[in-house]
Structure 1
Amino acid sequence: MKKSVMIWLIALLCLLLTVGAIAGCAAPSGEGGSAGSGDGSDVGTGTGEGDSGSGSGSGGSGGEGPGGSHQHSYGAWSVVVEAGCLSEGEERGVCACGDVQTRPIEPKGHSYGAWSVQTEADCMTEGSRVRACACGDEQYEPIPIGEHSLGPEATCTEDQICTVCLTVMVPAAHQNVVVDVAVEPTCSSAGYTAGEHCKTCGEVLIPQEERERLPHTFNRKYCRGCGAAELDAESTGLIFTPNTDGTCTVTGYGSCNDLVLVIPTYSPEGELVTGIEKNAFLNGSFVGVAFPPSLETIGNYAFAQCRYLKHVYVRDLAAWCGVAIGVDSDMSASPFNYASELWLNDTHITELVIPETVTEIGCRAFASTDIVSVRIHAGVQKIGEYAFASCESLTDIQLDEGLTHLGDGFVFERCKTLKSVTVPGSVTDMGSSTFNFCSELSDVTLQEGIRIVSGFSNCKALSTITIPQSATAIGHGAFSHCAALSEVVVPDGVALIDAHAFNSCDALRRITLGASVTSVGEKAFWRCKALTDIVLPDGVTRIGEEAFSECSALANVTLGKGLRDIGAMAFDKTAITSVTLSDAIRSIGYSAFQSCEKLLTVVIPATNEELVLERDIFYNCTALEHVTLEAYVKEIPSRMFAQCKALTEIALPASVESVRGSAFNDCEALTKADMPGVTLIEVSAFSSCVALVSINMPEVTALGKSAFAGCKLLRSIILPEGLVEIGDGAFSGTNLQWMVIPRSVKTVGEDVFPLKQLSNVYYAGDAASWEAIEMRNGKRILTEMLNYYAQVQPTGEGQYWHYVDGVPTKW
């Protein structure tokens, strides 16, 4: 029993220990006292403070039972209160038993953003800047005093200052001082001492002082130092010949050996010197010549072969403008044929100003000089030919209003450095060749009033031109060989495009002709290789020879309703695709459309008057397929359609009486030829028309030599009654198997028929008339295959034939 009681007690004790342990883990911290107040009086009484975790209860104090102790496991901490910049936060851990433990979180401290400038610093005061924390706290910091703010750079007269404090940073000073080198005096110009100036502002810092020029050193009236002439000492020994009017002419230099010929105003006999004779100074060895103001004429070749001549001295520029130099285009009359320097007394002139008293500038007056500019005032009305030709240094020309005539040509020809010119409206006729070969001329202004525009041939830099509304004609060769000219509009007032006007303008791609144009001259647009289109107004009546010849890109051509005459080779070797003429057409010159290899169709309508055609008009138009010819034409000229290899049919109007030699030669696609009124077909007219199978020529009286030779597909032919003569080889090279020879035939040439292929000859006459035919060869062979015509079936022997439905048939 005791043993059982002991076992029970032990079990009870274990139970109590277990319950105590369970009760201690479940009690949350701070609630131990409540646990201790249970029914534990048998064991003991306990008290505890919740904060300390102690308490009374069965088996122990402070949450611990008498059976043993419990270890809390709080797991992960969780934030209950976030920490601030300066304040603590709190985090808590909870045990599975429900016990809770807390601990503080350290303050984060401030986290400031980017600085923001409140006040800019300058060269005089500090600035400040601030940055803020997310909590609202702000931090301030000073910005140190800064650098100076520089204004514009210092100049010769202005300081560079600080724009804030106005402190001078860089004082004003001359930044680019240039030394003006001393210049030694010469006989032609004064000298100067050395000096200085500021290149930037131009201020003279050390002025140069002028030094007196040196005297000339003359040797035989020539100063080798500068080229001046001793004009006060006239040459002696010259030969003078009296004139009938009391004046005299210089005819040679006689015994004079001066390097500069100073021609006097008066001869030793007191006669006024007015002329220089032809050949007067031929082969002269002098270097300069000075002319008197009394001079009026200089004869041809007066200065020919004067190879050393360099200087020309005039004492009166106005008088020199009136001197007549030579009588033809030969420059040998002019002293400037070799000389280039023009001197007015002792000054070498490069900037020429024509005196206001001058009304006319003579021929060759300043040709080939080294002038760089010329001013021609309003009083000058006329400039002679070649007046300024070959002035290769001339870059500036000023022509005032009032000038009316630019000579007969060549006034400014070959001024190779001239780039721009304005021609006043008072110039009604510009003259031919005025600016020819001015290779750098690119800017041309033609003012209103000009009527005849001309004179710009071979201006290769000229790309645009505006023709004034006042113009009535584009003159001969006006813009020929202007390689850069690309587009031209001809205004409505222009009636004439003269010969060669735009010849060889390689870049010309567009030309617009005004409604008033009536005539386009010879070679007006020859070899304009970029031109693709042209519309000829209805007022155009004439197109000259070769007007558009070799315009290789010209594909679209509109011919006006008033066009009457097309000159020879007018459109040859172009890319034209169709030709449609009006009923006004009266003549077409030879080779007008020759070798237009893209030409497809031709339409020539009916006309009231005869249309005169010349040879080779459509020769070698290899793509020509269709021709409509309805005009009143009497003949098809030689080779008119020769080598038109795509032409398949031809129908000639009844007015055509003759087809000339080789007219359709080598038309290899031609199958049919209808010639209702033709009486004469000349030599080789249809030779080598290898596809020809049908020929209608009811009125023909004569067939020329080789007329149809080589027409390989021609297997039969009915020659019409009325045919009298058949020329040599007319049908040689054909494949004729049968043919009808009319009774009217009188002569047959040599080798006319292909005897090997021919099997039947139908003769429209009888044996007697056959024997009467004059035939050079083959008559015996033909006789063997001959059939005589019999309208009614004959009863006798022999070979006879008649027509059955138009086909010759043997009886």
Structure 2
Amino acid sequence: MAEKSGNNVTQTVSESNDDTVVTAGTDNTASDKTTDKNITVSTDVKFSEGLEFESNGDGTCSIVGVGNCNDKDVVIPNESPEGDKVTLIKEYSFSDLDSINSVTIVNYSEKIDKRAFQYNEMKKLNILGGNPKVDKSAFSSCEELEEIHFEKCGVDFKEYSFYGCGNNAVVDFKECNGTIDERTFQDSNISSIAISDCNLEIEQSAFSGCDKIVSIQASNSTLDIGEYGFYGVGSDAVVEFTDCSIAMDDRSFQDSSIGKLTVTGEKFTTGKSSFSSCEDLTELLIDCATVDLDEYAFYGCESLKSLSISKDKNDTNIKIDNRAFQDCEKLEDVTIGNGEIELGDSVFADCSEKIKITIAGKNYSADELSEGLPQ
């Protein structure tokens, strides 16, 4: 049940057993609870007035244009002035506009149509709460975007939805769950990505070609990264997965410019060639209970000098498949901890002649490990 007062409402979403109860007031603020995490988010925002609506005649409506709204910082309302629920932000409704500085979407769990904001020149986008369905190319080519924030919301982004967007943009996800579809952010001008307390499936080529990235930071998150998910990204980027569970498909970061990679948490698994030919990678630190590096995982990382895998752990499960570090020609220092350890063939073939390999406190040469770990 809701009470309305013009175009401005306060929404409080709370969970009650299997139902979601929505109440409304008139103090022009909005708050939301993401029921997956049972967290309430409150934001003091005033919904924009003057936008153009189109009623569907059944208590629902679409936003179809900017109308006579003059706000520089647009906050998308969830209801029309007549009280119809917004179920669609229609195609081209905010496209190719240069008059808007920022867009904020709060508690919205309906569809953002294809190309709804395409070519918009906004500098900042906030999606807070709710579970919006973002269709193909909805925000593509928003080339002035400097900040893109997702907080406590469901992630349902279709392919190309943010393709080619950004102006050295900062992208962050906080307490979000869902799927970033194929090529969602492909070829975007992004400087950094921050992910915290999330459970995300990042599908094929989702961030591929984002070659301006200098930082990828994830913490307390579970990430499933598809084939080519971050292919060819980075500019000597620092990549840190802290207290995370990471599963990668083949070639997830292949041909990327990464300077340093650090992974800590419960589990780190790669596919084939996940980091192959990352020629700027110099330092690799993995500190996880379970590590599974597939064939050619770091093949041809020609600048890699040091490798540490769970060196201070005793109860680990480590599997390194065939040729995982082959042709890492500068690799000299390798330390691997204790536990259940399985090595494939030629794991360290064609590495530096000076390579020193320590596994469970025992020293080996690369030749001694050419057919796996001696029994």
**Shared topology, TM-score over 0.5?**
yes
Task: Assess, with a 3 A threshold, how the Cα gap between structure 1 residues 672 and 419 changes in structure 2: closer, same or farther.
Answer: closer
Task: Assess, with a 3 A threshold, how the Cα gap between structure 1 residues 491 and 416 changes in structure 2: closer, same or farther.
Answer: closer
Task: Assess, with a 3 A threshold, how the Cα gap between structure 1 residues 486 and 500 changes in structure 2: closer, same or farther.
Answer: farther
Residue equivalent to 1:494: 176
The reply on whether 1:442 has 2:121 as its aligned counterpart is: yes
Residue equivalent to 2:54: 376
Q: Displacement of 1:424 after TM fit?
A: 6.9
Q: How does 1:266-285 map to 2 (within 5 A)?
A: none
**Is the 8 Å Cα contact of residues 176 and 197 (structure 2) preserved in structure 1?**
yes
Residue equivalent to 1:584: 266
**Is the 8 Å Cα contact of residues 635 and 658 (structure 1) preserved in structure 2?**
yes
Residue equivalent to 2:185: 503
Residue equivalent to 1:428: 109
**Is the 8 Å Cα contact of residues 193 and 216 (structure 2) preserved in structure 1?**
yes
Instruction: State the SS of the aligned residue for 2:261.
Output: strand
Residue equivalent to 1:517: 198
Alignment equivalent of 2:341, drawn from 656, 661, 666 = 656
Q: How does 1:154-173 map to 2 (within 5 A)?
A: none
Alignment equivalent of 1:620, drawn from 285, 296, 300 = 300
Q: Displacement of 1:453 after TM fit?
A: 5.9
CA distance in 1 between partners of 2:234 and 2:105 (Å): 37
**Is the 8 Å Cα contact of residues 453 and 471 (structure 1) preserved in structure 2?**
no
CA distance in 1 between partners of 2:127 and 2:348 (Å): 54
Residue equivalent to 1:572: 254
Q: Deviations over 1:15-71 (max 9, x none)?
A: xxxxxxxxxxxxxxxxxxxxxxxxxxxxxxxxxxxxxxxxxxxxxxxxxxxxxxxxx
Task: Assess, with a 3 A threshold, how the Cα gap between structure 1 residues 612 and 427 changes in structure 2: closer, same or farther.
Answer: same
Q: Displacement of 1:556 after TM fit?
A: 1.2
CA distance in 2 between partners of 1:598 and 1:638 (Å): 22
Task: Assess, with a 3 A threshold, how the Cα gap between structure 1 residues 466 and 642 changes in structure 2: closer, same or farther.
Answer: closer
**Is the 8 Å Cα contact of residues 480 and 505 (structure 1) preserved in structure 2?**
no
Q: How does 1:98-113 map to 2 (within 5 A)?
A: none
**Is the 8 Å Cα contact of residues 599 and 621 (structure 1) preserved in structure 2?**
yes
The reply on whether 1:561 has 2:219 as its aligned counterpart is: no
**Is the 8 Å Cα contact of residues 520 and 540 (structure 1) preserved in structure 2?**
no
Give, as a single letter, the amino acid of the residue that structure 2 aligns with 1:495. Answer: N
Q: Displacement of 1:551 after TM fit?
A: 1.1
CA distance in 2 between partners of 1:383 and 1:596 (Å): 49
Residue equivalent to 1:644: 328
The reply on whether 1:533 has 2:215 as its aligned counterpart is: yes
Q: Deviations over 1:306-360 (max 9, x none)?
A: xxxxxxxxxxxxxxxxxxxxxxxxxxxxxxxxxxxxxxxxxxxxxxxxxxxxxxx
- Which structure carries more helix by proportion? 1
Give, as a single letter, the amino acid of the residue that structure 2 aligns with 1:571. Answer: F
Q: Displacement of 1:651 after TM fit?
A: 5.4
CA distance in 2 between partners of 1:645 and 1:605 (Å): 23
CA distance in 2 between partners of 1:591 and 1:530 (Å): 22
CA distance in 2 between partners of 1:471 and 1:694 (Å): 48
Segments of structure 1 that go 5 or more residues without pairing to the other structure are 1-372, 389-393, 679-691, 698-702, 708-719, 723-811
Q: Displacement of 1:532 after TM fit?
A: 0.8
Give, as a single letter, the amino acid of the residue that structure 2 aligns with 1:574. Answer: S
**Is the 8 Å Cα contact of residues 417 and 440 (structure 1) preserved in structure 2?**
yes
Q: Displacement of 1:583 after TM fit?
A: 4.5
**Is the 8 Å Cα contact of residues 157 and 184 (structure 2) preserved in structure 1?**
no
Task: Assess, with a 3 A threshold, how the Cα gap between structure 1 residues 619 and 559 changes in structure 2: closer, same or farther.
Answer: same
CA distance in 2 between partners of 1:554 and 1:481 (Å): 22
Give, as a single letter, the amino acid of the residue that structure 2 aligns with 1:612. Answer: D
Q: Displacement of 1:492 after TM fit?
A: 3.4
The reply on whether 1:452 has 2:132 as its aligned counterpart is: yes
**Is the 8 Å Cα contact of residues 569 and 589 (structure 1) preserved in structure 2?**
yes
Task: Assess, with a 3 A threshold, how the Cα gap between structure 1 residues 442 and 430 changes in structure 2: closer, same or farther.
Answer: farther
Segments of structure 2 that go 5 or more residues without pairing to the other structure are 1-50, 70-76
Give the TM-score of the pair, scaled to structure 1: 0.32
CA distance in 2 between partners of 1:606 and 1:626 (Å): 17
Give, as a single letter, the amino acid of the residue that structure 2 aligns with 1:524. Answer: A
Q: Displacement of 1:489 after TM fit?
A: 4.9
CA distance in 1 between partners of 2:104 and 2:133 (Å): 10
Instruction: State the SS of the aligned residue for 1:570.
Output: coil
Q: Displacement of 1:597 after TM fit?
A: 1.3
Instruction: State the SS of the aligned residue for 1:436.
Output: coil
Q: Displacement of 1:437 after TM fit?
A: 8.1
Task: Assess, with a 3 A threshold, how the Cα gap between structure 1 residues 448 and 577 changes in structure 2: closer, same or farther.
Answer: closer
Q: Deviations over 1:383-403 (max 9, x none)?
A: 79xx99xxxxx8869985333
**Is the 8 Å Cα contact of residues 622 and 645 (structure 1) preserved in structure 2?**
yes
Q: Point out the more displaced range, 630-639 or 527-536.
A: 630-639
Q: Displacement of 1:614 after TM fit?
A: 1.1
Residue equivalent to 2:43: none
Give, as a single letter, the amino acid of the residue that structure 2 aligns with 1:459. Answer: S
User: Which is higher, the Rg of structure 1 or of structure 2?
Assistant: 1
Q: Displacement of 1:655 after TM fit?
A: 3.3
CA distance in 2 between partners of 1:654 and 1:488 (Å): 40
Q: Displacement of 1:670 after TM fit?
A: 4.9
**Is the 8 Å Cα contact of residues 566 and 589 (structure 1) preserved in structure 2?**
yes
Give the TM-score of the pair, scaled to structure 2: 0.62
Residue equivalent to 1:412: 91
CA distance in 1 between partners of 2:321 and 2:59 (Å): 54
Residue equivalent to 1:548: 230
CA distance in 1 between partners of 2:133 and 2:149 (Å): 8
**Is the 8 Å Cα contact of residues 378 and 403 (structure 1) preserved in structure 2?**
no
Give, as a single letter, the amino acid of the residue that structure 1 aligns with 2:295. Answer: R
CA distance in 2 between partners of 1:542 and 1:447 (Å): 20
CA distance in 2 between partners of 1:495 and 1:376 (Å): 31
Residue equivalent to 1:244: none
Q: How does 1:188-337 map to 2 (within 5 A)?
A: none
Give, as a single letter, the amino acid of the residue that structure 1 aligns with 2:296. Answer: D
Give, as a single letter, the amino acid of the residue that structure 2 aligns with 1:436. Answer: R
Give, as a single letter, the amino acid of the residue that structure 2 aligns with 1:623. Answer: S
**Is the 8 Å Cα contact of residues 484 and 507 (structure 1) preserved in structure 2?**
yes
Q: Higher relative contact order at CA 8 Å, sep ≥6: structure 1 or structure 2?
A: 2
